[in-house]
């Protein structure tokens, strides 16, 4: 049986879509059980609905604490038998609640060659710093910001002074690399 995954996203959901498409094509051996978002109005909700994937939308502001928010997420995931969490543009640091519920089973993709340019706006940081090469990193999630053990990396040439062109090149690499890395670790 294919491992049951939940994809976490906060925005447009291009990585969610790429993972869904890879599963449908037989290129990724996983069962996409649910999509989780902390942004109920995000476009990824529409993508999930169109794909027929259950969308769990949580508004963290409605919870008294981050721990209470994450505990509600964990309970929903456990009810659905989710085994792995796949962060795909999820713009929130996870806490001990999720880390303890899914030890060594939370994976993230980041648009840089970590440890360079962790956190938000990594592509903008790379272009602003004038680097010639940036890239994509798939890594396990730990308590830090983009500090977990690296699973896979791939370099991407920076289009000098052009964040948009660099971002497009990164997104193309992300979609392929995430599928490859997940197939490697989900076995």
Q: Which residues are catalytic?
A: 110
Which stretches of 10-83 are assigned E, i.e. beta strand? Answer: 31-37, 54-57
Helical (H) or strand (E) element with 43: helix 43-51
- Strand segments (E) across the chain: 4-9, 31-37, 54-57, 84-87, 106-110, 133-140, 150-157
As a whole number of angstroms, the distance between CA 70 and CA 100 comes to 11
């Amino acid at each position: 049986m294919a491992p049951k995954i939940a994809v976490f996203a906060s925005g447009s959901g291009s990585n969610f879509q790429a993972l869904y498409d890879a599963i449908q094509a037989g290129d990724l051996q996983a069962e996409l059980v649910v999509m989780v978002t902390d942004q109920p109005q995000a476009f990824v909700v529409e993508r999930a609905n169109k794909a027929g994937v259950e969308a769990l939308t949580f508004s963290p502001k409605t919870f008294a604490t981050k721990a209470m928010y994450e505990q509600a997420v964990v309970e929903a995931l456990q009810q659905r038998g989710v085994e792995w969490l796949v962060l795909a543009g999820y713009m929130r640091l996870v806490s001990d609640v999720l880390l303890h519920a899914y030890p060594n089973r939370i994976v993230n993709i980041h648009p840089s060659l970590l440890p360079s340019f962790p956190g938000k706006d990594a592509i903008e940081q790379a272009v602003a710093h004038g680097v010639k090469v940036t890239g994509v990193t798939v890594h396990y999630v730990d308590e830090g910001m983009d500090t977990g053990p690296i699973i896979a990396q791939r370099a991407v040439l920076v289009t000098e002074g052009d964040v948009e062109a660099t971002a497009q090149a990164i997104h193309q690499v992300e979609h392929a690399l995430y599928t490859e890395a997940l197939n490697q670790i989900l076995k």
